[in-house]
Chains A and B, each alone.
Chain A
């Protein structure tokens, strides 16, 4: 790895500008950071409860029942 700690900020900015992949990455990160939380949808406590019941509590109960 090319000793990143020695990279000066100005050079780093130039390098980012010169690298199309890095430029695209920069654009994407900026866009994602600018989006509101609601743009990604919701996962509520009820969702957690449903998932925990179906995939954790119920299987454990059945396992213990048949393992008696």
Chain B
């Protein structure tokens, strides 16, 4: 599992067979190949939902609001964010067996979808870096709990170690990743249950509910809205993982309900546990909670476990990013080790400036809303309103200029312009770096505005400039049905 990307059993590029590459690469999945029934989809989504980044989100929320308002913001925001992003992605990817960057091609164009890929990679690299710093902080806190006093360098060294371990896991292939996931998920459940038990036994609900936020702004209503904004951004951030799960499900219901209930609800609940911990311990850093909550012995054990869970999360994030890079022709020929090596290089700033970048984590979380809210809105409008849930698979997997989704040199400019507009709307209403807001922010949260405004404009623009080509016509009129296959 990864921050917003999901894969449970990736295939090694060395041992590619059609079955493997269709399941974990880009081949459209046939109904008989899809592995998730209802129970499987719920279990997979649950495993993704409870991972360590939920701790980070809960910690950020504790800075702004107390327990009661935080629960409302995290649950409501997460559910709304997941709803907006999952409906087009889940239903579309399930119907056509597509992974999500391919699903973006009808809306954004063959090359325009690569722009979305860049956003996707920024999301992956950012989350991976934050979790690696959490890994480094965990090592420092373990050392301190055992009586050592390491310097600040140990955090950067921890990030470097985490990168090395992640590289080792990802390049060793599927089995190791599956084994670590199979161990980590049940242990995370136990850890979260343990935290809840200790929190309520030692402190009780009254103490948790009355704990003040850690670093609130002067206006309570604004803190509440920004906390909600973080919740929505958290839900929308699942964009990167939804397509993979949905394409592996057998029916539309199995693709949608587990995402809403597990990614939306369960993920929100785990973030709430993190919120309580942060309020009680008075620190937003999850690695600082374990020793005060569980004592030195249990705290160190829990910390060791959180540290290991972080490496697994980053490894899967790298795996998913490596697969996504295969959309770019230049990366298809590169060895798997080099692709993963490139991702490691992109994470190196976290080795040298770990605390500085970690301090921007809440802004990064909000920025995820900036990135994905417009994309989610446009995909919603494109799939349901413009194309009426009918896509042309021939055009998705064919780069030839005569194809319906080639548009103008591979880019569908109205959609890309709407993404930029949506990001501008977001920043106009709420600047996540400075926390400055526009008065309209009280009426319409930035993520929702950045989703709705581009969706409406795109629906109008698509009708005017690029009416959808009938599916049958694009398949039959072409002289040969796959002129330039892009797989």
Closest B residue to A16 by beta carbon equals B482
* Residue on A nearest B251 in the bound complex, by CB: A41
B69 at interface by CB-CB < 8 Å: yes
Given A4-B400, A29-B394, A63-B72: A55 and B79 within 8 A (CB)?
Answer: yes
Number of interface residues of B (CB under 8 A): 54
User: Is B221 engaged at the interface, CB distance under 8 Å to the other chain?
Assistant: yes
Which residue from chain A places its CB closest to the CB of B475 in the assembled complex?
A: A33
- Chain A residues contacting B95 (CB-CB under 8 Å) are 40
Q: How far is the CA of A9 from the CA of B77 in the complex (A)?
A: 51
User: What does the 1/0 interface line of B64-90 toward A look like (CB < 8 Å)?
Assistant: 000011001101110110110001000
Asked if B69 and A29 sit within 8 Å, CB to CB, the answer is no
Q: Judge whether A28 and B27 touch: CB under 8 Å.
A: yes
Give which listed residue, A21, A24, A58, A66, contacts B68 with CB less than 8 A: A66
User: What is the chain A residue whose CB lies nearest that of B406?
Assistant: A4
A66 touches B72 (CB 8 A): yes
Report B-chain residues with C-beta under 8 Å of the C-beta of A39.
31
A5-B400, A25-B27, A29-B397 given as contacts; is B83 within 8 A of A42 (CB)?
no
Q: Among A47, A59, A60, which residue has its beta carbon within 8 angstroms of that of B253?
A: A47
Asked whether, in the complex, the Cβ of A43 is within 8 Å of the Cβ of B91, the reply is: yes
Expressed in whole angstroms, the Cα–Cα distance for A19 and B75 within the complex equals 49
- Which residues from chain B contact A32 at a C-beta distance below 8 Å? 28, 30, 96-97, 393
Query: Which residues of B sit under 8 angstroms from A9, Cβ to Cβ?
Result: 479-480, 483
Q: In the assembled complex, which residues on chain A have CB atoms less than 8 Å from the CB atom of B401?
A: 4-5
Q: Chain A: how many interface residues by the 8 Å CB criterion?
A: 39
Q: Are A47 and B483 in contact (CB under 8 A)?
A: no
- Interface members, chain A 13-60 (any B CB < 8 Å): 13, 16, 19, 21-22, 24-26, 28-29, 31-33, 35, 39-43, 47, 51-52, 54-56, 58-60
Given contact pairs A28-B30, A29-B393, A52-B83, A1 touches B479 in the complex (Cβ within 8 A):
no
B463 at the interface (CB under 8 A from A): no
A48 to B241, CA, bound (A): 21
- The verdict on B228 contacting chain A, using a C-beta distance below 8 Å, is yes
Known contacts being A28-B28, A33-B475, is A40 close to B484, with CB within 8 Å?
Answer: no
Q: Are B221 and A67 in contact, with the CB atoms below 8 A?
A: yes
| B271 → chain A closest CB, angstroms | 14
Instruction: Name, among A33, A55, A56, A62, the residue most crowded by chain B CB atoms within 10 Å (CB to CB).
Output: A55
A32-B97, A51-B260, A60-B80 known; 8 new pairs, CB 8 Å cut-off, are: A7-B400, A12-B480, A21-B21, A31-B30, A33-B393, A43-B252, A63-B77, A67-B224
Closest 4 CB pairs of A and B: A41-B251, A59-B76, A55-B83, A43-B252
